Amino acid sequence: MPTDTAGRILVFAAGIAGAAGVALSAAAAHLGGAFTGTAASFLLAHAPALLAAGLLGANRVLRTGALALLIGLALFSGDLLARDFLGSRLFPFAAPTGGTLLIAGWLVVAASAFAAARRGS
C-alpha cells in the first residue's frame, strides 16, 4: 500500500473509477445512453492505469502523468454523464479539455520511462 498522499489518492481513485465503470456499464445496458457507455469504457480503461501508478509511483513524472489522467478522466467522463443524466454539459469545452488532459497524461506517463526512479523505493 502506498504511504504517500498522491499514491493513496490514485489507488482510491482507481477503485472509484472501476466501480463507477461497472455501474455505468450496467446503466448503459439497461437504460441506454450512448454517452454513459462511453464514460463507462473510459473509466474502466483508466482504472488499472491509476492503480498501477498509485502502487508503483516510480518517479514524480509518473505520478504527475497519472494525476493528469485522473483530472482528465473526471472532466471527460463527468461531462458525458452530465449530458445523459442532466441534459447539459458541465461547462463549455469540459469534454475536450478532459480529453486533451488524458492525451497529455498518457504522454507524460510515457516520458516517465526516462525519469529517474524515486529514492528509497
Write down the pTM of the prediction.
Answer: 0.88
Q: Tell me if 68 is assigned to some domain.
A: yes
Q: Does residue 120 form part of some domain?
A: no
73 belongs to a structural domain: yes
Domain containing 33 equals 5-113
Say how many C-beta atoms besides its own lie within 10 A of residue 34's C-beta.
Answer: 11
Give the rounded distance of the alpha carbon of 19 from its chain centre: 12
Count of structural domains, the chain: 1
Tell whether the model's pLDDT for residue 118 goes beyond 70.
Answer: no
Amino acid letter, residue 99: G
For the packed helices 60-85 and 94-111, what is the interaxial angle rounded to 10 degrees? Answer: 160
Q: Say yes or no to pLDDT of 121 above 60.
A: no
Q: Does residue 118 fall inside a structural domain? A: no
Give residue 13's pLDDT band: very low, low, confident or very high (50, 70, 90): very high
Dihedral over Cα of 24, 27, 29, 32: its sign: negative
Q: Give the count of alpha carbons within 13 A of 56, CB side only.
A: 18
Residue 96 has pLDDT above 70, yes or no: yes
Whether residue 121 lies inside any domain: the answer is: no
What are the two backbone dihedrals, phi and then psi, of residue 47, each rounded to the nearest 5 degrees? -55, -45
Q: What is the pLDDT of residues 17-62, one digit of tens each?
A: 999 999 999 999 998 788 999 999 999 999 999 999 999 877 889 9
